[in-house]
Amino acid sequence: MQVATHLQHIHPSYIREILAAATAEGIISLAGGLPATDRFPLSLMAESIAELPRHAELFQYGETAGYRPLLDHLENLYQVASSHRMMVCSGSQQGLDLIARTFLNPGDGVAMEAPSYPGALQVFGMARAAIHPVQQHRDGPDLDALESLFASGQVKLFYAVPDFHNPTGVCWTLEVRQKVASLCDRYGVALIEDAPYRELRFAGKELPLVSTFCPERALVLRSFSKIATPGIRLGMLSGPRDWLPALIRVKQASDLHSSIPMQALILDLITHPGFPGHIRQLCDLYSERYQALATALSEYLGEGFDAEPVQGGMFLWLKLPVLDSAAVARAALTKRVAVVPSTAFYPKGVSAEPALRLNFSHEAPDTLREAVRRLARVLI
Ligand code: PMP
């Protein structure tokens, strides 16, 4: 059957192709965005999982906005103001999709950092938004470009990942956070602050969410994918109280509500006394893996390859002195290492900085080292 007109320009994602190739025997994959499977906090969840059959009421239909005890806990934990509200969604990806379907008409302008998260490019592409890329520097988006874009009146939403950006690992400085918030306020642009990696900080000091400086115009997306497990598919969306009812209506039409048993499990997990220790161990682990990757890159590649240090998250952005990063990624596959070329992170027609996204959360230090050794055979 012919797909709907608005989908006809959506092409299969290049990342999916690479990820499919990356599962072949003998390939080391630094291509996915996978948290460490062997560190999922399943032992902290075991007792609650065993208890589930005694709670038939959790398996009934529930509220669209979320499982009330979880919402109450989260609103308290994140100090959601009374002028604001939170809802649960099926991963932050669903939150993004709900925002696009609730607030965008075809042709509405969405500013995004370039490069940017492909899942967001896909959502805004399907919403037929006009995407306006804003170049990203090592401490956040280009503020002059952002201001002239906002001043042009063409932008309704600004989508950003200020903490350990996917794909670059960039974390905005405090000054950039304040400046972006004041630009959003001054020009009446809504901010979507996507923060799935925020808790994965292994160096430096935690900085306030950008939305704390422009609370009246910001929607915040958070996720349990990186701190619990992605397969559980739970995230949350918060924003000004009167923006939420429309989002909740759209979610209702989409899936009625997210899984209640999973929400109950997540509530038990995040209130478990062992949970803060789990996050600390995860950050230590990622720090160790990141160091292993960064060390191997400087040993095997040396001069000419620039990888900006990161303070958290799961990704390193390796800038290449050659132009065709897609060709490099293809050649890397023949050496049995999978990486994602920068071209996957830019809107169509925007020229990509030559670079590769390398994931360091999923593989052990020795495997990361071996992956870099293989990559070096392509690059030098
Ligand atoms: N936003 C960003 C920036 C991401 O990198 C991802 C996935 N890795 C998501 C959202 C979607 O995450 P979730 O599993 O919560 O849907």
Tell which one of 225, 226, 266 to mutate to probe ligand 1, the residue whose CB is within 8 A of the most ligand atoms: 225
Distance between CA atoms of residues 168 and 151, nearest Å = 27
Quick one: which of 48, 52, 77 has its CA closest to 276? Answer: 77
Domain that holds residue 337: 5-41+276-379
Distance between CA atoms of residues 339 and 362, nearest Å = 13
Predicted local confidence at residue 17, as pLDDT = 74
Judge if ipTM > 0.95.
Answer: yes
335: domain CATH number is 3.90.1150.10
Last residue of a domain, one of 207, 240, 270: 270
Give the 3-state secondary structure of residue 86.
Answer: strand
Cβ of 269 closer than 6 Å to ligand 1, yes or no, is no
Are 350 and 219 found together in one domain? no
Are 148 and 180 found together in one domain? yes
Are 230 and 82 found together in one domain? yes
Say how many domains are in the chain.
2
The mean pLDDT of 115-129, rounded to a whole number, is: 96
Q: Are 232 and 200 in contact (CB under 8 A)?
A: no
Last residue of a domain, one of 224, 246, 270: 270
Predicted local confidence at residue 11, as pLDDT = 65
Q: Are 307 and 339 in contact (CB under 8 A)?
A: no
Are 123 and 22 found together in one domain? no
Tell which one of 168, 170, 194 to mutate to probe ligand 1, the residue whose CB is within 8 A of the most ligand atoms: 194
- The average confidence (pLDDT) of the chain is 95
Q: How far is the CA of 222 from the centre of ligand 1 (A)?
A: 9
Whether the pTM exceeds 0.80: the reply is yes
Phi, psi of 177 (to 5 degrees): -60, -50
Last residue of a domain, one of 248, 270, 292: 270
Asked if residue 311 is part of any domain, the answer here is yes
Cβ of 325 closer than 6 Å to ligand 1, yes or no, is no
Greater confidence (16 vs 49) lies with: 49
Are 18 and 59 found together in one domain? no
Are 239 and 309 found together in one domain? no
Cβ of 168 closer than 6 Å to ligand 1, yes or no, is no
Cβ of 33 closer than 6 Å to ligand 1, yes or no, is yes
Quick one: which of 16, 45, 40, 93 has its CA closest to 362? Answer: 40
The mean pLDDT of 322-331, rounded to a whole number, is: 92
Cβ of 215 closer than 6 Å to ligand 1, yes or no, is no
Q: Where is average pLDDT lowest: 7-16, 27-36, 51-60?
A: 7-16
Distance between CA atoms of residues 283 and 287, nearest Å = 6
Cβ of 161 closer than 6 Å to ligand 1, yes or no, is yes
Residue 301 has pLDDT above 80, yes or no: yes
Residue 48 has pLDDT above 70, yes or no: yes
Phi, psi of 271 (to 5 degrees): -100, 0
Residue 15 has pLDDT above 80, yes or no: no
Predicted local confidence at residue 380, as pLDDT = 86
Q: Are 176 and 290 in contact (CB under 8 A)?
A: no
Write the pLDDT tens digit of every residue in 137-187.
Answer: 999 999 999 999 999 999 999 999 999 999 999 999 999 999 999 999 999
